[in-house]
Structure 1
Amino acid sequence: MAEFLWIFWSFSLLGWVLERLFAAVTRSPRRRRRCLLLLPLCPVYGLGMAAVLALPPSLRSEWPLYLWGGLTATAVEYIYHWWGETFLGVSFWDYTGVFGNFCGRVCLPFSLAWGLLLFPAVYLVTPPVVALADRVPVGVTWWLLLAFTADAVCSLRFLAVTHDLEALRAAVWPVSADR
């Protein structure tokens, strides 16, 4: 279980970093792309990688990884967005104007990008994360799980009550501090 948690947290953090870089490169006016109230984590990335790593080993090499991994990550992205809309009343992102989008929840360009990003994620990042998970004391993992769970519960409750993703993004730090 610790290995799964560290994979989830590591890729959620890397996803947050990727979101920040993407916002900076595209000069997005909305640079605050935080998915939880306090922690710099985007859980959709962690869930996506956990799902990809759950694929049978025969589907995690070369072209099958690109095809099946990309489809798996896209499916997780779609379900995550659908869940947010259905149960929290928020849209985490909107691909409506992007070529090849499906219901604004997923789109072809990002699905293709996820397939490419899986190669370094599976072959370069995952092995050290698994090695780290084996060395971290169980107590540390449990304390981090407690902190993550508290933040996730508070974030979900905040969104369920307000239905306002922008308010979540600005709830802790002032907007001017993000620029």
Structure 2
Amino acid sequence: MELWLWKFWTYSFLGLLLEKAYAAVSPRRGGARRCCLLLPLCPVYGLGVTAVLLLPPQLTQSPLGMALWGGLTATAVEYGVHVWYECLLGVRFWDYQGVWGNLRGRVCVPFSLAWGLLLAAVLPGLEQVLTPLLEKIPPEVTYAALLVFTADALLSSRVLLRAGDPEAVRVPLIRMREKRAA
């Protein structure tokens, strides 16, 4: 169980870095942080990769299988998380309405293909490196991290419910820096 928590948190953090890289090169997105927590984590990525890792191995053994089944799984998770954010928290962190092949603005074909290709290209090698490192983390550290994560999730959810705006969970220092840069 502890290993899966660390995988979730690690891939959530790597997802944040991916979001930052995409925002830096995308003229439409600017430097926006699209996550629901104050911590530097994008849980949709952690949930998506965790779901892919839980697929039966025979589906993901080959790069083609990983791209197909991994991409479909990550897309399904992205859709479900979007519905959860929208219905339970009253916010939309992303909207693919203008993108070809979108489904209610929650997922779209180009990003589904991108997730599949990225998973096939990176995940097997990354897992070989990360898993042995994450297995060495002491249980006490895991429990402390879980307490911090849970407190952040509760606080962030409350803020989002009250504000109804995804910008509400952006760290004030980041908002100030972005205002000065504009």
What CA RMSD, in Å, does the superposition of the two structures yield over aligned residues?
1.5
The equivalent of 2:119 in structure 1 is: 118
Instruction: Report the Cα distance in structure 2 between the residues aligned to 1:39 and 1:121, rounded to whole angstroms.
Output: 24
Alignment-mate amino acid for residue 162 of structure 1: A
TM-score (norm 1): 0.93
Q: 1:37 to 1:172 in 2, by over 3 A?
A: farther
The equivalent of 2:26 in structure 1 is: 26
The equivalent of 1:160 in structure 2 is: 161
Contact 2:8 2:43 in 1 (8 A): yes
Count of residues paired in the alignment: 178
Alignment-mate amino acid for residue 118 of structure 1: L
Instruction: Report the Cα distance in structure 2 between the residues aligned to 1:121 and 1:2, rounded to whole angstroms.
Output: 23
Contact 2:34 2:93 in 1 (8 A): no
The equivalent of 1:45 in structure 2 is: 45
Contact 1:7 1:126 in 2 (8 A): no
Instruction: Report the Cα distance in structure 2 between the residues aligned to 1:79 and 1:121, rounded to whole angstroms.
Output: 24
1:48 Cα deviation after fit = 0.1
Q: 1:29 to 1:133 in 2, by over 3 A?
A: closer
1:167 Cα deviation after fit = 2.2
Per-residue CA distance 1:93-143 (angstroms, 9 max, x = gap): 000000000000000000000001112442121222211121111111111
1:38 Cα deviation after fit = 2.6
Counterparts of 1:142-161 in structure 2 under 5 Å?
142-161=143-162
Per-residue CA distance 1:14-67 (angstroms, 9 max, x = gap): 100000011111134641315144311000000000000000000112212111
Instruction: Report the Cα distance in structure 2 between the residues aligned to 1:4 and 1:111, rounded to whole angstroms.
Output: 24
Counterparts of 1:45-64 in structure 2 under 5 Å?
45-62=45-62, 63-64=64-65
Contact 1:6 1:130 in 2 (8 A): no
The equivalent of 2:9 in structure 1 is: 9
Q: Percent identity at matched positions?
A: 52
Instruction: Report the Cα distance in structure 1 between the residues aligned to 2:76 and 2:83, rounded to whole angstroms.
Output: 10
The equivalent of 1:177 in structure 2 is: 177
1:3 Cα deviation after fit = 1.1
The equivalent of 1:86 in structure 2 is: 87
Structure 1 runs of 4+ aligned residues shifted over 3 Å read: 27-30
The equivalent of 1:134 in structure 2 is: 135
